[in-house]
Each structure stands twice: as structure tokens, then as C-alpha cells.
Structure 1
Amino acid sequence: MGNNACSPSPETIDSVFWAGQAGGIIPDITLDRSLSNYLSLNSSFALNSQYAAIQRHLSKDRLAVLDSNLTSIFGHSSRVSYGGVGIVALALSFLLDTLVGQTSDPYQRIFGPDYSSEIPTVAREYLTQVPWKVNDSDGMAEMTEIYDQKLKYALIELYENMTIDHHLNTAAIKQWINGAAIHLHMRIHGIRMFSVPKGSAESLRLSYRTGLGRVLQLYTGYLRRNVKERSATLDPSIKAGFLITEPSKKVRHRVVHNACQTQSIIGAVVARILAAQNVRTTETFFDEPARLIDKFVRQREHFELPTRNASRHS
């Protein structure tokens, strides 16, 4: 490969891509790890592990404050209905992070900083209310049904904006993928509470799985149109090289290569960007409920808070 003057070496491609990583311009449309962990059949284990870690690392005084805050939300009951299950476990995970003083915003991590659609707002509103409703089965079912519809229409609007109006970019796809994941598991929770028919989860899952294939196809074309690169030169009077991954995402670099290598470098960078999106994990997330829906619906794990007089260890 390196013997051809117009074929960039692996080292050249690596250097250009790493410049993009260092500059924070490599796009990210991945399914957030918190969603793949908590919206799963292992959700109870994930939440209990998080809570156990909190208990190990907080001082006795801070644990007492946490205990008081949890009591103000859940009362003196030590059981949180469906607390270890899917969408409720996700909401409790975010609640625990907030109560112990985590400063990072999970919603910005999941949806990105650009709230260009209603999806992040609707998801945040719903998940922050879940802990207050979770032990009221009727109230929880009613709220879930209301926000199910709100999120559905927000997702439809964004999907049509991307696929019909061609207003597609990384931020939009990231919001759609993660919003669809949350919506699917809101629907599954509605089935658990007998407020929506079981078949509605499969129709929703199928629409999102089909839509995922479509937006990923469009995204590949989007990257091929927008990724641009230029070599640096040894002439100090000429500007450094640059890498652009999408509009307004640009970094300068000092990688020198033949001009005829540019298109090959761009193709390789696009391939590396797509590989970094871990698409198979996202596809699997939307594939699994097709064969495991009964297991998801039968999830009944409650989240058990420690009794109020339990001993604490700092």
C-alpha cells in the first residue's frame, strides 16, 4: 500500500484520524451505555451494583443524607415497585446520581448538547417524574401513556425531518436513536402495567429497527459528502492541513502527505468514523425484543432500599 505514491500509509491515516479525535470532532451516534445497561434483562443487576458502589464509597453522614432524600421521595416503604426493571431502573439510576452530587448531565451525554428536537425534553420530563409515581400503579400507568404519545410524535417529527426534509446530521441521529430506545422501553413498561396491548411493542420495535437501517444508510452518504481533508505542507507560509467531519466541525493538523492521497484518506476516515459508532450493538438492542419480549414483559424485580435502621459503614 505504501509503495504507491497515491496510497496513504496506515500511519498517515491514523495520524489524520487521531487529530480529529484530539480535536473532539469525530461524530458520535452511539447508543448510550446507560441505556444498553438499564434497558435490558440485566437492569436489576446494574441498578443494585450502582447502589452498592454508592454505599461503599459514601461516608456515614452522606449516606444518612441520601437515606433522608430517598425517604422524602418513596416514603418509609423499602420497596420501589418495578424499581429494578427497564425504564424505572434507568430513572432510579439518574436519581441516585443526582442525589449523590454527580455534576455531569446524563441527558446531555445521551442526547448531545444540541436540543434541536423535543425528544430530550420529553425524555427528561418523564424520567424525572418516574420516582415520584412509581409506587402509584395507576398514576404511573397514566403518566407513561401520556409521555409515550409525546415521545412518539417527537420521534416521528425528527425522523421525517431527517429522511424527508433531508435535515440530517450527527446531533439529530443521536437524539433519534437514543430517544427511540427509551420510547420502546416505555412501551414495554406500559405492557407490564396492562395499559397497552402486548403487540404494540413489536410494531414499535419493527418501525424503529427499519428506521435505523434507513438513517444509517443516509448517514453514510452524509459523511461521504461532508468529510474533507487537506495535507499540511513543509512551506511555513502555507497554512496547516485540516480535517472536517461535518459543517462547523474542523481541526487543523500537521500531517504531510501527497495531495493525490486525499480522497483515499477521506474514505478511510469515513470508514473509521462508521466503525466507531458500534452499529451492531445498536442493531442488537432493537433486535432482541423481537425474540425476548415475553422475558422483558415478565420482568418484575422491585428495588429494595435498605431498612431505615440498617447499619451503615463508611
Structure 2
Amino acid sequence: MGESYSKEKEDIMISGMFSIAETYGVIPDITIDGSLLMYSGLNSTAVLEQHSSQMVTDLVSKVPDLLTNLGSSLSAFELVPNAVGLGALIISFLLDLTVSSLIKVPEDSPLNMMQRVFTEEKASGVRDSMDEYLKRLRKYVWEPEQALEETKRLEKQLSEQMTRLSNSMLKDGQMSSRAMKIWVNGAAFHAQMLIHEARLIMAGYGSKQEKNLDVRVASVCSMVDHYRKDLEDLLKEYKSYKRTNMLLMTKYQGCWAYYTVHCINPMCYVYDKELGMSTENNPRIVSDNNFEDTFCNGSLDAYINYMFSNWGQIKKLNEYFTVLNTNIRELITQNRIFSMKHV
């Protein structure tokens, strides 16, 4: 009876600790970037129109004459084909680029997507392949045949880089939260590239031999399923990795201590060594030298298990690839034209 009561108290305490960790950001970021998410669904053209409408509103409110002065620049956007998915993303990117010298674009602008995903990363083949594709797609946004050619070429390149990255994480001991974030964004981006390639082919920019919808859908579904399986494997390895760099701790007579029994102390904290942050009072940067690597296996295991079962980021990652797989046929057959006249 007493043991059951202690376990119940521990479960409540662990749930509370995880809630505090999420609230104060003492938890890694392994999310797909917001811009990529917004332009991955069936409503990407509507997202683009809303984005461009907000851009025009900001221009007019800040400097009314700017819109008139930008007339020639924006006239190029009177008729833009394939304004769905990555096509819509790159149009929003170009619009923000056009006005970025005149007004400050928001931090969450598609223009800043690569910086948000890769931050200080110094060497990443995935980043280089994605960056190159965005550059080439910007150049050929009004030339679908060339855009298709570049998509085919750089899709293969990104695929190879994704294989290298996942192998390094699973087999070479290179797992980290940064690597996970890069992988999930690379996987989502690569899936969108494959959909855009199939979309351009079905729109008539490829060869007649390639224009088979069932084949295109099956091909993309196969790759998305592959990424769903890879995500499962990577999350298992990532869970083991986080088990090595997280601690549960409390204060005893003003000094830090680790759990030697189940976590039932109301003054317990989470310390993430990878982030260098603790939930003690408010999150603060702490030095690894302040702590010894000794803690209670049972309590930490319970926290890690709870974290990976209830972590909203993981649920959203799984949901992304599941929903994407369901919508592939409709995403491929989407074909919209964007015009600033409609804004």
C-alpha cells in the first residue's frame, strides 16, 4: 500500500516537473520550422495570400508611398504558376526579400527559415542541399521546366545527405538535439520536394512517360513511409541519448543533491546537461562542473519515459508524416496560380 502511494506521488511529481520544463523552455527544440509546416498542407495557397496581404498592410501602414514605389518589383508577381507547397513557400520568400530592404520582415518570416533551423551549424550537407535548392527555385519560379530539372537533381543530393545524417546519428554516435532538429526539417523538406516534383510532372512539365499519377503517388508515399520508420528508430536512439544528459535533483540544506529514492520531494528540479539549463526557480544557465553525474536510475527513467510519451513535439512530428501520407494524392494534383492582383 505504501509503495503504491509513493509511486502515485512520484507520477504526479514527474508530470508536474515535465510541465514546468515545457513552460520555461528547459526542453530541446526538435520541431519542424513553422514556415515549412504552414506551406506543407492543402491550404498553402491560402497561407501565401494571407502572408502577402499582411505584407501589403504593413507596407501601407508604415510608409504609404512604398507600395507605389515597389510597383515595378511587385508586378512580376501578377501571374506566378505552381503557387502550392514549396512553390508557395518560395513566392512568400521572394515577396519578403523584395520588401526586406524597406521594412523589417518578421522573425518568423520564411526568409529566416534556414537561419532558424540551422542556427550556428558550421558544417551540414543537409543545409547546403536545402539552401541550394531554395536558391535555384527562386531563380526558376517562373520557369517550371527548369524548376523541375533542378528539383530532380537536388532531390537526389538531399536524399544522399539525409542518409548520411541518419547513419551518423544511429551508427556513429552523433546523436544530439541539434542533429534531430536538422533531420526532421530535412525529412519534411525532402518530402515536399518529392511532392513538388510530382506536381510539376503532372502539370505537364515532364515527359509523357512520367505522367502517371498512381506511380507518382506510390513513389512519394514510399519515401514518406521510409521517413516515418526512420523517425521511430531515431526517436528510440534519441531517448537513450537524453537519458545520458539529464538529471533530477533537489536541494538539501542549501546544497544540490540527487535522488537516492523515488522522486517525491516537492522541491525537485530537472537539469538538462545538453542545454545547460535547470528548472530551479526559473531556467538558468548552469555549469556541468556544479554537478556530479550521480542520480537515481528509477526516478530518471520514469521522467524520461513520461517525457517521450507526453512530449507534444514528438506527437506533432508523428502527426506530420501521417497526415502528409494521407494527403499525398491531393497535394500532387493541386495546381494554383498566384497573383498580387488578388491581394
- Alignment TM-score, normalising by the size of structure 1: 0.80
Corresponding residue SS for 1:80: coil
Shift of 1:112: 4.6
Give the corresponding residue for 2:231: 212
For residues 186 and 265 of structure 1, the distance between their equivalents in structure 2, rounded to whole angstroms, comes to 40
Q: 2:140 aligns with which of 133, 143, 150?
A: 133
Runs (5+) with no aligned partner, structure 1: none
Moved more, 185-194 or 104-113: 104-113
For residues 281 and 65 of structure 1, the distance between their equivalents in structure 2, rounded to whole angstroms, comes to 42
Give the corresponding residue for 2:67: 63
Q: 2:322 aligns with which of 276, 287, 307?
A: 287
For residues 16 and 277 of structure 1, the distance between their equivalents in structure 2, rounded to whole angstroms, comes to 11
Q: Is the 8 Å Cα contact of residues 230 and 262 (structure 1) preserved in structure 2?
A: no
Corresponding residue SS for 2:272: strand
CA-atom RMSD in angstroms: 3.3
Corresponding residue SS for 2:95: helix
Letter in 1 for 2:132: E
For residues 247 and 52 of structure 2, the distance between their equivalents in structure 1, rounded to whole angstroms, comes to 46
For residues 11 and 319 of structure 2, the distance between their equivalents in structure 1, rounded to whole angstroms, comes to 34
Letter in 2 for 1:114: E
Corresponding residue SS for 1:182: helix
Give yes or no for the alignment of 1:82 onto 2:82: yes
For residues 309 and 227 of structure 2, the distance between their equivalents in structure 1, rounded to whole angstroms, comes to 20
Give the corresponding residue for 2:96: 97
124 and 270 in structure 1: CA distance in 2 versus 1, 3 angstrom threshold: farther
Corresponding residue SS for 1:268: helix
Shift of 1:260: 8.8
Q: 1:224 aligns with which of 243, 250, 261?
A: 243
For residues 65 and 152 of structure 1, the distance between their equivalents in structure 2, rounded to whole angstroms, comes to 42
For residues 150 and 200 of structure 2, the distance between their equivalents in structure 1, rounded to whole angstroms, comes to 12
For residues 170 and 304 of structure 2, the distance between their equivalents in structure 1, rounded to whole angstroms, comes to 24
Letter in 1 for 2:244: R
Shift of 1:15: 5.7
Letter in 1 for 2:272: T
Shift of 1:90: 1.5
Q: Sequence identity of aligned pairs in percent?
A: 25
Shift of 1:269: 6.0
Shift of 1:95: 2.9
Give the corresponding residue for 1:32: 33
Note the alpha carbon deviations across 1:166-192, whole angstroms, 9 max, x for none.
311111111111111111111111112
Corresponding residue SS for 2:32: coil
Letter in 2 for 1:64: T
Letter in 2 for 1:102: V
Moved more, 101-110 or 27-36: 101-110
Give the corresponding residue for 1:48: 49
Give yes or no for the alignment of 1:267 onto 2:269: no
Letter in 2 for 1:253: E
Q: 1:249 aligns with which of 271, 276, 280?
A: 276
Letter in 2 for 1:94: F
Number of positions where the alignment pairs a residue of Structure 1 with one of Structure 2: 297
Letter in 2 for 1:62: L
For residues 202 and 12 of structure 1, the distance between their equivalents in structure 2, rounded to whole angstroms, comes to 38
30 and 155 in structure 1: CA distance in 2 versus 1, 3 angstrom threshold: same
163 and 91 in structure 1: CA distance in 2 versus 1, 3 angstrom threshold: same
Q: 1:170 aligns with which of 177, 181, 201?
A: 177
17 and 231 in structure 1: CA distance in 2 versus 1, 3 angstrom threshold: farther
Q: 2:165 aligns with which of 158, 161, 178?
A: 158
Corresponding residue SS for 1:110: helix
For residues 174 and 180 of structure 1, the distance between their equivalents in structure 2, rounded to whole angstroms, comes to 10
275 and 69 in structure 1: CA distance in 2 versus 1, 3 angstrom threshold: farther
Q: Is the 8 Å Cα contact of residues 111 and 120 (structure 1) preserved in structure 2?
A: yes
Shift of 1:267: 3.0
Give the corresponding residue for 1:233: 252
Give the corresponding residue for 2:288: none
For residues 152 and 71 of structure 2, the distance between their equivalents in structure 1, rounded to whole angstroms, comes to 30
Runs (5+) with no aligned partner, structure 2: 258-267, 283-293
239 and 286 in structure 1: CA distance in 2 versus 1, 3 angstrom threshold: closer
Q: Is the 8 Å Cα contact of residues 41 and 324 (structure 2) preserved in structure 1?
A: no
- Alignment TM-score, normalising by the size of structure 2: 0.74
Shift of 1:27: 0.6
Q: Is the 8 Å Cα contact of residues 2 and 9 (structure 1) preserved in structure 2?
A: no
For residues 316 and 200 of structure 2, the distance between their equivalents in structure 1, rounded to whole angstroms, comes to 28
Q: Is the 8 Å Cα contact of residues 224 and 270 (structure 1) preserved in structure 2?
A: no
For residues 260 and 117 of structure 1, the distance between their equivalents in structure 2, rounded to whole angstroms, comes to 35
Q: Is the 8 Å Cα contact of residues 17 and 269 (structure 1) preserved in structure 2?
A: no
Shift of 1:125: 2.4
